[in-house]
Amino acid sequence: MESVFLSTYKIRIKNRRLDGHAMMGLFNGKDDILPLINSFLLDIYTNPVQVGNEEEKNTFLNLTLKEPPTLLESERIIYGYFDAGISGQEINVKHRYTKKQVFNGDRDNHGLYRHIFFYIKLPFKSDSGYLILQRRSRFGIKSAFTHLLKKWIRQKGYQDTFININSVLSGSLFDRMLQNGNLKKINFIVNYIPNDVTDYYANNENPNLVGGSMTTTIQAKHGLPSGWVNFARKQYWREDRKTLVEFEGEEKEYEEIQFEIESNGRTKTFYANKKDRTVPDLDVTADVLKNVDTGEPLISSLLQKCEEIVKDTFEIKPDVQPY
C-alpha cells in the first residue's frame, strides 16, 4: 500500500505600497485573498493548464482539479484534489502478469494522471497562510502551483502584489525523528578556508580568512551518542543566533549547522539556520484512515490531519531552552 506524505508550506504576501507582509484578509489594504485563490482554483478546474517539467526535458506537467474545490468560508479553508499528469512521453500500459499490451498512449494527447490532495487555510487577520500538499512520486506540483498563481494574480490587475510560498517543517518532525531514529552526522560549516595546511595548524586551527567553504563533520555509523543528540535538539530550536555554538565559555559562529537523521529507513537533513532547505514532507501513513477497497486515504481523515499539522507547525513552539 502506498505511503501517504504531506508537504507543508507558508504563504506570505507583500504589497509594494505597504510595509511588511500583508494580512490575508486585506492583502492590498482592502481585498481578501481567500475568494481570489478560490477563483483561481475554479479557473484551473474549468481550463486545465500545462507547464514545462523542470526535471525532464520535453515533458510537461498538466494541472487541473478532479472536481471544483470545496470552500469553507467561515473557517477560511479551501480543499480538494488536483488532477496532475505528465505528458510528452509514450505510455505503454501492459498487464503485469501476461505482459500483454493493454494501451499505447500518444505522447502529445495522453498523460499519466494522479489525484493530489490539497489544503489551504488563510486566516483573515494573519500575515501567513498555510498550504499543505500531498506528495506523490514524480508529481511535485508546488512549483507549478506557485508559478500559475502568481501569473493569474498579475493578470487580474494586482501588479503590486507578490505572493511567496516557501516550505516550512512540521514542528514535531525534527523531534520525532531525533527521538525515534539515529542522529548519524552533524556538519559545522564556515565560509572560509586556510591559505594552506601549515597555516591552519600553525594558527591553532584558526585559519586566516580566505574565501571558500570548510566543513567539520561529527559522525558515527550507528548514531551519535546522547550528548550530541541533546546538543542537536537544543541548537536546532534556539531562538536567536542559531549557528552560534557555546562551549566552556567560548563561542564560535558558523554559517550553517546540518543534522542528518535516519529514521524508519529514511534519511533527512535538517538545517539550524536555513530551515526551509529541508524537504518538508511528513509521513502520515499510520495517522490517516483509508478506504478499504481502494487503499486511498479518506478525505475526512486528511482534513483532520491537516488541522493537526497547522497547529503543530505554526501555532505550537517546542519548550526548549537555548543551548
Q: What is the DSSP string of 200-264?
A: HHHTTT----BSS-EEEEEE-TT---HHHHHHHHHHHH-SS-TTEEEETTEEEE-SEEEEEEEET
- Is residue 135 situated within a structural domain? yes
Which pLDDT belongs to residue 321?
A: 41
Q: Extract the C-alpha cell encoding 228.
A: 550530541
Q: Which domain holds residue 124?
A: 5-169
Residue 65 near residue 81 (C-beta atoms within 8 A):
yes
Phi, psi of 322, rounded to the nearest 5 degrees? -55, 145
Q: Give me the mean pLDDT over the 215-224 stretch.
A: 92
pLDDT tier for residue 275 given thresholds of 50, 70 and 90? confident
My answer on whether 29 and 82 are in the same domain is yes
* Domain finish residue from 169, 197, 217: 169
My answer on whether 232 and 162 are in the same domain is no
- The answer to which of 86-100, 165-179, 252-266 has the lowest mean pLDDT is 86-100
My answer on whether 224 and 238 are in the same domain is yes
Q: Extract the C-alpha cell encoding 297.
A: 486515504
Highest-scoring range by mean pLDDT, 32-36, 236-240, 319-323: 32-36
For 118, which DSSP code? E
C-alpha Rg value of the chain to the nearest Å: 23
Which pLDDT belongs to residue 320?
A: 44
Q: Give me the mean pLDDT over the 263-278 stretch.
A: 83
Q: Give me the mean pLDDT over the 232-243 stretch.
A: 82
pTM, entire model: 0.76
- Spatial CA neighbour of 79 closest among 94, 65, 90, 93: 65
- Is residue 264 situated within a structural domain? yes
Judge whether residue 212 has pLDDT over 70. Answer: yes
Of residues 167 and 87, more confidence is placed in 167
Name the percent of the chain lying above pLDDT 70. 87
My answer on whether 207 and 129 are in the same domain is no
* Domain finish residue from 107, 134, 169: 169
**Strands 214-219, 49-52: parallel, antiparallel or unpaired by DSSP?**
unpaired
Judge whether residue 248 has pLDDT over 50. Answer: yes
* Domain finish residue from 111, 137, 169: 169
My answer on whether 161 and 61 are in the same domain is yes
The C-alpha atoms of residue 275 and residue 256 are separated, in whole angstroms, by 10
- Is residue 310 situated within a structural domain? no
Residue 66 near residue 80 (C-beta atoms within 8 A):
yes
pLDDT tier for residue 323 given thresholds of 50, 70 and 90? very low
Number of folded domains that form the chain: 2
My answer on whether 17 and 159 are in the same domain is yes
My answer on whether 224 and 157 are in the same domain is no
pLDDT tier for residue 125 given thresholds of 50, 70 and 90? very high
- Is residue 12 situated within a structural domain? yes
Q: Residue with C-alpha cell 534556539? A: 238
- Is residue 105 situated within a structural domain? yes
Q: Give me the mean pLDDT over the 227-241 stretch.
A: 86
Residue 215 near residue 188 (C-beta atoms within 8 A):
yes
Number of Cβ atoms within 10 Å of the Cβ of 207: 19
My answer on whether 46 and 69 are in the same domain is yes
My answer on whether 143 and 28 are in the same domain is yes
pLDDT tier for residue 25 given thresholds of 50, 70 and 90? very high
